[in-house]
Amino acid sequence: MSIGEMLAATVPMARTLNLEFVETTPERAVVVLPDQGDYHNHVGGPHAGAMFTLGESASGAIVLAAFGAELSRAVPLAVRADIAYKKLAMGTVKATATIGRPVADVVAELDAGQRPEFPVAIAITREDGAVTGEMTVVWTLRPNDPK
């Protein structure tokens, strides 16, 4: 099962919005929100909540791609998020996520018994390439309880 298929199967909101997981690697995740009238706002574009979910889902996809090998000993959790809506989004929108710290550094902190935090930056774009939103989600890897 791909990361996109896994997220669609286990995260009902991703499935509800019909998110398309185009690319999921440890370096980059790309997720598309198709243009769907049921999720439009008052001006006919994707609702801010749908765009937030799109960005958060892209960040989750890259986290799973980058840290999937650590899932037996730690749970990835979003700690906080910030989003800025820059331009009017219309039609299909795409979120592209990148991790802001070297994966090896995050794993080294986990190995040292710490609970590492790391940012994931997300750019949300229209089909014409214009950036309509910028988002950062800070994630942690919470070590599993040894009990």
Cα–Cα nearest to 115, from 107, 123, 104: 107
Residues 91-100, mean pLDDT to the nearest whole number: 98
Q: How far apart (Å, rounded) are the C-alpha atoms in residues 39 and 45?
A: 8
Digit-coded pLDDT (tens) for 30-88: 999 999 999 999 999 999 999 999 999 999 999 999 999 999 999 999 999 999 999 99
Is the pLDDT score of 147 beyond 70? no
Instruction: Give the pLDDT band of residue 114 (cuts 50, 70, 90).
Output: very high
Q: How far apart (Å, rounded) are the C-alpha atoms in residues 17 and 95?
A: 14
CA distances from 137 to 39, 43, 103, 144 (A): 22, 27, 16, 21
Chain centroid to CA 71: how far?
17
Mean pLDDT of the chain: 94
Residues 6+ apart with CB under 8 A from 96: 28, 29, 30, 58, 122, 123, 125
pLDDT confidence of residue 80: 98
Q: How far apart (Å, rounded) are the C-alpha atoms in residues 84 and 125?
A: 12
Is the pLDDT score of 29 beyond 80? yes
C-beta separation of 74 from 117 below 8 A = no
Digit-coded pLDDT (tens) for 128-137: 999 999 999 9
> pTM of this prediction?
0.94
Edge to edge, the sheet with strand 93-99 lists: 20-24, 29-33, 93-99, 117-126, 131-143, 74-85
Residues 11-24, mean pLDDT to the nearest whole number: 93
pLDDT confidence of residue 146: 58
